[in-house]
Chain A
Amino acid sequence: MAKLLEVKNLNTGFHHEGRIIPLVDDVSFFIEKQSILGLVGESGSGKTMTALSLTNLLIDRNCRVDNGRVMLEGKEISLSDENCLKEKRGKEIAYIFQEPTTSLNPVMSIREQIEEVLLMHRTDIERKSIKNFIITQLQAVGIHNSEKKISSFPHQLSGGEKQRVMIAMAMVSRPKLIVADEPTTALDVTIQAQILTLLLELKENFGVSILFISHDLNIVGQISDYIAVMYAGQIVEFSKAKELINCPRHPYTIGLFNCLPNRIKHANVKELSTIQGEVPKAGNFPDGCRFHPRCPKKFDRCSKEMPPLISLKEDQEVRCWLY
């Protein structure tokens, strides 16, 4: 299938007193049209920084995209041209964030907030029909009673409804790519299942691609077509979701799967298997392979040389000297 987004050698770093602390290090991946790429990793592994770097949304002035190319449908997005980026943000690449409560403006009604996006990106809709358009959009993301709900304020909605409003806001400009950064982490399991189903429906009905960021392997495994595993700012494994679940290659991925409590089927297993040690902090990454201090299969070479991403077969890459 055709590739929608291609990211090549993305480097984002934190500049501090002449030093560069790498947060995203040589990250390359692609997303096919109408597919979902799951990006998994523990906190501090650079998932969110990768997502924000796509349209240079980095909030801190000391954080900069140092290197890398982002191609949307074959056309390069210039990461330094603010005007060009403004056109892409929201219009072609839309974001959904983790905490719907903090991402919505508390003093604006739902209608006003969605209207803002429409006025910015959808000049083809007439002013008169905006209200009806918003109502149908809210219905499409499964909000009941949306005629009444559009005049309500965020605090009057439940967590699930707020996240649906966020999704509706992302969808009104008919983007090609939605970046969903932990969209279900703040929600209960029952609501989470609904939001995941909604995202799948959007993919099928509107042909939108999704970059789905989460720390939960279970969710990512359930929803994604491709999975990229991040560790300490790097992608350590990238392959088709089925392949990764059935046969994880990188020791870190294998370790993560073994940590999952729902893997344990027997009552007589008393301990969860763990990965030794702690996630290294940015700026403090070990030399050589960044996972080697915690790796059960390490050998001499691992502590000296950083392994490159090694292609095993088509669409499957692992960053490990074992292969």
Chain B
Amino acid sequence: MAILTLKDITKKYLFKNSFFSFYSGEIKAVDGVCLELEEGKTLGLVGESGCGKSTLANIILKLIEPTTGEVFFNGKEITQVREKEFRPLRRQIQIVFQDPYSSLSLRLRVKDIIAEPLEACLMEKNKILERVKELIAQVGLGQEYLVRFPHQLSGGQRQRVGIARALATSPRVLVLDEAVSSLDLSTQAQIINLLIRLQEQYKLSYLFIAHDLSLVRFVSDTVAVMYKGIIFEKGPTEMIYDNPAHPYTKLLLNSIPSFEKSLKNRKDRYMIKQDFSLNKSEKFFGCSFYQNCPKPMPCCEKQMPGLKEIGKNHFVSCFCYE
């Protein structure tokens, strides 16, 4: 049973060409995304910057409203629910942000940072400190850190505080928006291990957003590849990494740097020819990867292919598989 289901989520932004004109166009930041997150599992979401990963995270957290589409949490539709009714659900979906330096308030001590969500969900005051102590131990920090300020902590310790804050309300879904990207290699491994341990302990479900593809492979059960707001491919991790079907996924996987691979053999390999951006006024209905695809077909220019199941739970959006 999926704990979180996204159905056909689309988020459009209108823009003007000049200050005085009317809205003259729209940009689809997220376009018809369908995803499912199983309970206790990790869904990895990969894609280049600006492809809509964080917009999707914000929609799940109900921080922004999708233009169309539905989000089901535990079988209940949440995008249309009013804020007051959504409150009890809000504590069940939490987020850990990318930058541990800007996501913690500089003026609050660690104990106050972690206590804030507990106060917001009206926990009794005498229980709060107890819970905070419990949380800080869970993320592997000593009690002496409770009275410190964020500037006294290192990046890894800050991220641990961020995780403790997210865990405070005992959520069931945790959105990790590039949660380890800004950390050093050795600290990153520590945080990943902590996240894996917490997942086993509390049966948490993770939406793991990252651009480090080898890390996503390590932590995720299923992976979705996003490009310009559209899910190009999704499926079980091993299937995606061993048999990528979409040309974009192949390109991404080929680009992973590795000390085991030599760069010299890759010159003949195809690469994105140019940073192609669509002329805003121009309407283009075809596949958004058309310009960079190594094997474009005439039909790719005319319409966007739909998601098609090519293996067990393995979906691809490409005309090669129609």
Which has the most chain B C-beta neighbours within 10 Å: A161, A190, A194?
Answer: A190
Interface string of A123-148 (1 = CB under 8 A from B): 00000000000000000000010000
The answer to whether A192 and B193 touch (CB under 8 A), given A272-B218, A275-B186, is: no
Interface string of A206-225 (1 = CB under 8 A from B): 00000000011111111100
Which has the most chain A C-beta neighbours within 10 Å: B215, B238, B259, B275?
Answer: B259
Count residues on chain B whose CB falls below 8 Å from chain A CBs.
45
B196 within 8 A of A: yes
In chain A, residues 187-201, which have Cβ atoms closer than 8 Å to a Cβ of chain B?
A: 188-194, 196-197, 200
Interface string of B266-280 (1 = CB under 8 A from A): 110001111101000
Complex contact A189–B185 (CB within 8 A): no
Among B215, B257, B260, the residue within 8 A (CB) of A219 is: B257
A262 within 8 A of B: yes
Complex contact B184–A42 (CB within 8 A): yes
Complex contact B252–A278 (CB within 8 A): no
Tell me the complex Cα distance, A245–B259, Å. Answer: 8
Minimum C-beta distance from A296 to chain B (A): 12
Minimum C-beta distance from B211 to chain A (A): 7
Complex contact B193–A271 (CB within 8 A): yes
Complex contact B259–A221 (CB within 8 A): yes
Tell me the complex Cα distance, A218–B261, Å. Answer: 9
Complex contact A278–B156 (CB within 8 A): yes
Complex contact A200–B218 (CB within 8 A): no
The answer to whether A197 and B189 touch (CB under 8 A), given A192-B257, A219-B257, A278-B154, is: no
Residues of A within 8 A of B261 (CB): 222
In chain B, residues 40-74, which have Cβ atoms closer than 8 Å to a Cβ of chain A?
A: 48-49
Residues of B within 8 A of A259 (CB): 185-186, 188-189
B143 within 8 A of A: no
B262 within 8 A of A: yes
Tell me the complex Cα distance, A191–B272, Å. Answer: 8
Complex contact B259–A220 (CB within 8 A): yes
Residues of B within 8 A of A188 (CB): 48-49, 211
Count residues on chain A whose CB falls below 8 Å from chain B CBs.
43
Residues of A within 8 A of B193 (CB): 271-272, 274
Minimum C-beta distance from A242 to chain B (A): 10
Tell me the complex Cα distance, A260–B274, Å. Answer: 31
In chain A, residues 143-164, which have Cβ atoms closer than 8 Å to a Cβ of chain B?
A: 144, 158-161
Tell me the complex Cα distance, A197–B185, Å. Answer: 24
Residues of B within 8 A of A103 (CB): none
Minimum C-beta distance from A310 to chain B (A): 24
Residues of A within 8 A of B184 (CB): 42-43, 215, 279
Question: Nearest chain-A residue to B48 (Cβ)?
Answer: A188
Complex contact B259–A190 (CB within 8 A): no
A264 within 8 A of B: yes
Complex contact A218–B258 (CB within 8 A): yes
Residues of A within 8 A of B262 (CB): 222
A256 within 8 A of B: yes
In chain B, residues 229-285, which have Cβ atoms closer than 8 Å to a Cβ of chain A?
A: 238, 251-252, 254-264, 266-267, 271-275, 277
Residues of A within 8 A of B252 (CB): 189-190
Interface string of A278-289 (1 = CB under 8 A from B): 110000000000
In chain B, residues 151-185, which have Cβ atoms closer than 8 Å to a Cβ of chain A?
A: 154-157, 184-185
Complex contact B257–A197 (CB within 8 A): no
Complex contact A196–B217 (CB within 8 A): no
**Residues of A in contact with B (beta carbons under 8 Å apart):** 42-43, 144, 158-161, 188-194, 196-197, 200, 215-223, 245, 255-256, 259-262, 264, 267, 270-275, 278-279
**Residues of B in contact with A (beta carbons under 8 Å apart):** 48-49, 154-157, 184-190, 192-193, 196, 211-215, 217-218, 238, 251-252, 254-264, 266-267, 271-275, 277
